[in-house]
Structure 1
Amino acid sequence: MAVEEKDIKEVADALGKKFDEFKEKNDKRIEGLEAEKGKLSGQVDTLNEKLGELDELKTSLEQELAALKRPDGTGTKAASEHKTAFMQFVRKGIDTGLGDLQAKALQIGSDADGGYAVPEELDRSIIGLLKDTSPMRQVCNQITVGTPDYKRLVSLGGAGSGWVGETAPRPATGTPTLGQIAAFMGEIYANPQATQTSLDDIFFNAESWLNGEVAREFSEKEGAAFTSGDGVNKPKGFLAYDLVLESDKTRAFGKLQKLISGAAGAFTGDNLIDLIHSLKAGYRSNARFMMTNLTVAYARKLKDSQGNYLWRPGLEADKPSTLLGYGIVENEDVPDVAADANAISFGDFQRGYTIVDRIGTRVLRDPYTNKPYVGFYTTKRVGGMLVDSQAIKVLTLSAA
Structure 2
Amino acid sequence: MPDINDLRQQRANLAAQARAILDTAQNASRSITADEEQTFDRLMADADRIDATIAREERARELERQIAGTTPPARGDGSGDDNPDEALRGRAFRNFVVGGRNALSPDEARALNMGNDPEGGYLVAPQQWVNQLIQAVDDLVVLRQLATVETLNEGESLGVPTLETDLNDAEWTSEIGTGSQDDALRFGKREFRPNPLAKRVRVSRKLLRAAARDPEAIVRERMAHKFGVTCEKAYMTGDGNKKPLGLFTASTDGISTARDVSFGTGGAIPLTPVSGDQLIDAKYTLKSAYWAEARWLFHRTLIATIRKLKGSTNDTYLWQPGISSDKPDTILDLPFVVSEFVPNTVSGNNYVGMLGDFRKYWIVDALNMEVQRLVELYAETNQVGFIGRLETDGMPVLEEAFVRLKVPA
Shorter-chain TM range is 0.7 to 0.9
Matched, 1:265 2:245: no
Shift in Å, 1:254: 5.6
Q: Report the counterpart of residue 181 of structure 2 in structure 1.
A: 172
Q: Give the equivalent residue in structure 2 for 1:15.
A: 14
Over 3 Å counting, the alpha-carbon distance change for 1:149 and 1:199 in structure 2 is same
Aligned residue for 2:161? 153
Matching of residue 46 in structure 1 with residue 54 in structure 2 = no
Question: Alpha-carbon deviation of 1:39?
Answer: 4.7
Secondary structure of the corresponding residue to residue 221 of structure 2: helix
* Matching residue of 1:249: none
One-letter code of the match for 1:398? P
Report the equivalent of 2:367: 359
Per the alignment, residue 229 of structure 1 pairs with 238
CA distance in 2, matches of 1:332, 1:226: 12
1:313 aligned residue: 321
Q: What is the aligned partner in structure 1 of residue 354 from structure 2? A: 345
Moved more, 212-221 or 143-152: 143-152
Aligned to 2:191: 182
* 2:194–2:366 CA contact under 8 A, matched in 1: no
- Judge conservation of contact 2:137–2:228 (CA < 8 Å) in 1: yes
- In structure 2, the residue corresponding to 1:301 is in which secondary structure? coil
Deviates more, 1:381-390 or 1:75-84: 75-84
The CA deviation string for residues 186-212 of structure 1, in whole angstroms up to 9 with x for no partner, is 211111111212112252421210110
Query: What letter is aligned with 2:342?
Result: V
Tell me, in whole angstroms, the C-alpha distance in 2 between the residues paired with 1:42 and 1:30.
Answer: 19
Structure 1 CA distance, aligned partners of 2:295 and 2:391?
A: 28
- How much has 1:384 moved relative to structure 2? 0.7
> 1:365 aligns to what SS in structure 2?
strand
Using the size of structure 2 for normalisation, the TM-score is 0.82
Aligned equivalent of 1:283: 290
1:325-360: CA deviation from partner (whole Å, max 9, x where unpaired): 11111012111151222111101001x211111113
CA deviation vs aligned residue, 1:293-344 (integer Å, no higher than 9, x gap): 0001010111234443221222312222111111111012111151222111
Distance (whole Å) between structure 2 residues aligned to residue 32 and residue 318 of structure 1: 31
Query: In the aligned structure 2, how far is the partner of 1:220 from the partner of 1:238?
Result: 16
The match for 1:378 is 388
Distance 1:253 1:127, change over 3 A: closer
Segments of 5+ residues of structure 1 without an aligned counterpart are: 104-108, 244-251
Give the alignment partner of residue 120 of structure 1, picking from 107, 111, 127: 127
Q: Secondary structure at the match of 1:298?
A: helix
| Of 15-24 and 298-307, the range deviating more from structure 2 | 15-24
- Alpha-carbon distance change, 254 to 269 in structure 1, aligned in 2, over 3 angstroms: closer
Match of 1:163 in 2: 172
1:55–1:313: 8 Å Cα contact kept in structure 2? no
In structure 1, distance between residues paired with 2:302 and 2:247: 19
Deviations 1:234-254 (A, max 9, x none): 1111222328xxxxxxxx986
Amino acid paired to 1:336: N
Name the SS for the 1:156 alignment partner: strand
Map of 2:75 onto structure 1:
none
Q: Which amino acid aligns with 2:167?
A: A
Q: Which amino acid aligns with 1:50?
A: D
Q: Give distance in 2, aligned partners of 1:19 and 1:38.
A: 14
Deviation at 1:25, TM superposition (A): 8.4
Mapped to 2, the partners of 1:69 and 1:93 lie a distance apart of 27
Q: Say which of 324, 328, 336 aligns to 2:344.
A: 336
The alpha carbon displacement at 1:262 in A equals: 5.2
Could you say if the C-alpha distance between residues 13 and 68 of structure 1 is closer, same or farther in structure 2, counting changes exceeding 3 Å?
A: farther
Secondary structure in structure 2 of the residue aligned to 1:359: strand
What amino acid does structure 1 have at the position aligned with 2:263? S
Identity, % of aligned pairs?
22
* TM-score, with structure 1 as normaliser: 0.84
- Pick closer, same or farther for the CA change 1:202–1:269 going to 2, 3 Å: closer
Aligned residues: 381
> Take 1:262 and 1:14, find their aligned partners in 2: how far apart are those partners?
31
1:390 aligns to what SS in structure 2? helix
Match of 2:100 among 81, 93, 114: 93
Aligned to 2:149: 142
Letter in 2 for 1:384: G
SS of the residue aligned with 2:15?
helix
Cα distance in 2 for residues equivalent to 1:27 and 1:168: 62
What residue number does 1:241 align with? 250
For the structure 1 residues 16 and 67, does the alpha-carbon distance in structure 2 shift closer, same or farther, using more than 3 Å as the test?
farther
In structure 1, how many angstroms separate the alpha carbons of the residues matched to 2:263 and 2:215? 50
Give CA-to-partner distance per residue, 1:26-63, whole Å, 9 cap, x none.
77999489xxx555544343233223223444555566
Aligned partners of 1:332 and 1:360: how far apart in 2? 28
CA distance in 1, matches of 2:245, 2:202: 29
